[in-house]
Amino acid sequence: MTPGNAWITGAGKGIGRALALHLARDGWRVAVSARTAADLEALADEGPPGAIRPFVLDVTDRDRTAATLDAIEADLGPLDLAVFNAGTHAPESDAIVSATAFRYLLEINVMGVVYGLEAVLPAMTARRWGHVGIVSSLAGYRGLPTAAAYGASKAALINMAEALQPELRQQGVRLQLINPGFVDTPLTERNDFPMPCLISADRAARYIVDGLSSSRFEISFPRGFALLMKILRLLPDRLYLAATRRLVK
């Protein structure tokens, strides 16, 4: 990818933070958003001087998201790349559905991306160029115990990206779907179960940078775990549900 202007949401910690540093060191000017100003300031200080610009944002605020894009483009100029990475996870302890938990995760994981897309796509489609990455998860492939709300939010992003890609391509905008497996971040530190093929945030960022430079629609990693999840997606329901029942405590 030719360096230009990028915007990354959810950049205060984890994958977003590591990705911002990779892009900045590759010559990009990177606008970073998160809710905590101190995290963004520390990130800006760690990157090359002047390369990382902090913009505090709660992605569930639709109006503020649009205003943040205006501020970014007033500072940097038109965006070449937007990576909508902000997301969270709240493990569920039993099968009782909590509407509060669902609403919380859907507002951040899904609507936070939708508000970002609503902000950046009109200008990108009008000038017929731009590049968007949507960070979902391999957990969106099939339902997993204790992750009904999280998995549903990530499945929604996968479906949305697949639906949007053909139309956006005709309008000159590249859309790529990013599906990580388990990545060592403050979010996954909350998990109380084994996480197969766990990788560092820095390694995840390298996968993303390589994928964004490719022609692939889906950027999934790590490769072995992604392949396993793709195989599980093809299993008949009888076999898949028999396997996942063993995961229930």
Active site residue 207: no
CA-CA distance, 207 to 220, in Å (whole number)? 8
Tokens (6 digits) for 133 = 């990455």
Which among 88, 121, 94, 83 is positioned nearest to 107, based on CA atoms? 88
3-state secondary structure (DSSP) of residue 248: coil
- Residue tagged active-site, from 115, 141, 150, 207: 150
Residue pair 59/115 in contact (Cβ under 8 Å)? The answer is yes
Residue type (1 letter), 200: S
Q: Give the distance, in angstroms, between the CA of residue 124 and the centroid of all CA atoms in the same chain.
A: 19
- Tokens 């009109």 -> residue: 122
CA-CA distance, 63 to 155, in Å (whole number)? 25
Q: Give the distance, in angstroms, between the CA of residue 125 and the centroid of all CA atoms in the same chain.
A: 21
Tokens (6 digits) for 20 = 């911002």
Which among 16, 8, 57, 7 is positioned nearest to 185, based on CA atoms? 16
- Tokens 């910690």 -> residue: 13
Which positions are catalytic?
150
